[in-house]
Amino acid sequence: MPLITDPAFYALAIPAALLVGIGKSGVAGGFGILAVPLIALTMPVPQAAAIVLPLLTVGDLFGLAALIKARDRALLRLLLPAGLAGIVAGFVLFDLLSPKAVSVVLGAMTLLFLLQRAWSRHGAAVRAVPRWFTALMGLVSGVTSFVAHAGGPPISIALLPMGLAPAAFAGTTAVFFTVINASKWLPYASLGLIDATNMLTAAVLAPCAALGVWFGVSLLRRLPALWFYRLVSAGLLITGIKLVWDGLR
């Protein structure tokens, strides 16, 4: 089977796979969104996204094994049906939704959320989040995950104000995105985004994604809650800026 052999590709793809794994550990999850743009410097964006999907799945499985015990079952009962509905909506609207428009809207929403938290006197305080809002963010996450592998920001917007323990935050997102990314395989295949070259190349990069998860989980277990949430916010800031930039250029 064909395999990408360009050294320039691997010089960028290996750090990208590590970022995917670190993001899947729950630490600085927003940094994982840089994977597709990095790989896309050497190939078309759709091919880069197709290679990243298996890396996301590998990261999901390793993250799930390490974090599943800390999941919040009540939150997942609310988030998962909404997220899967978002996947269906993303598939149905795939040819109608402009990736650039989705990027701008999602990026602006992320930056406004961070701005509100920074300006609010109680920005870091624990607050009750309405169930309808949590479900809505799950739905939006499903759509943006399908269209642009960018489902992290809506989930973080829903969970950050809750002040969950870092392990619960990471465990809940690990279960959510394992299910969401698994549900994308069949629709992606039907859209012609899966082929032998991309899958074999992703298999070569998969150990880097697993290594990234191991590093991130090790860091998660040592980080105080304050620094965990600072890293999450930093990842969201980078994600928001990158999404707006992608949509406007």
For 93, phi then psi, to 5°, come to -95, 10
How far apart, in whole angstroms, are the C-alpha atoms of residue 186 and residue 171?
25
Per-residue model confidence (pLDDT) at position 83:
96
How far apart, in whole angstroms, are the C-alpha atoms of residue 98 and residue 94?
8
Mean pLDDT of 212-219: 86
pLDDT digits (tens, 9 = 90+) for 126-167: 567 889 999 999 999 998 888 777 788 888 888 888 888 888
Q: Domain segments of the chain: what residues?
A: 7-248
pLDDT digits (tens, 9 = 90+) for 2-20: 888 889 899 989 998 998 8
Comparing 233 with 116, the larger pLDDT belongs to 233
pLDDT digits (tens, 9 = 90+) for 99-113: 677 778 777 877 877
How far apart, in whole angstroms, are the C-alpha atoms of residue 210 and residue 65?
11
E-assigned strands of the chain? none
pLDDT digits (tens, 9 = 90+) for 65-116: 888 998 999 999 999 999 999 999 988 887 777 767 777 877 787 787 777 7
Question: Residue 175: CB partners within 8 Å, gap ≥ 6?
Answer: 64, 68, 71, 76, 80
Per-residue model confidence (pLDDT) at position 29:
58
Per-residue model confidence (pLDDT) at position 172:
93
Amino acid of residue 230: R
Per-residue model confidence (pLDDT) at position 14:
94
Q: Is the pLDDT of residue 211 over 90?
A: yes
Per-residue model confidence (pLDDT) at position 125:
56
pTM above 0.85, yes or no: no
Per-residue model confidence (pLDDT) at position 151:
82
Per-residue model confidence (pLDDT) at position 74:
94
Per-residue model confidence (pLDDT) at position 1:
58
Under a CB-based contact definition with an 8 Å cutoff, are residues 199 and 8 in contact? no
Under a CB-based contact definition with an 8 Å cutoff, are residues 149 and 46 in contact? no
Total length of the chain: 249
DSSP characters for 158-192? HHGGGT--HHHHHHHHHHHHHHHHHTTHHHHHHTT
By 3-state DSSP, what share of the chain in percent is helix, strand and coil, each rounded to 5? 80, 0, 20
pLDDT digits (tens, 9 = 90+) for 20-71: 888 887 665 566 777 777 787 788 777 887 888 899 899 889 888 888 998 9
How far apart, in whole angstroms, are the C-alpha atoms of residue 132 and residue 79?
10
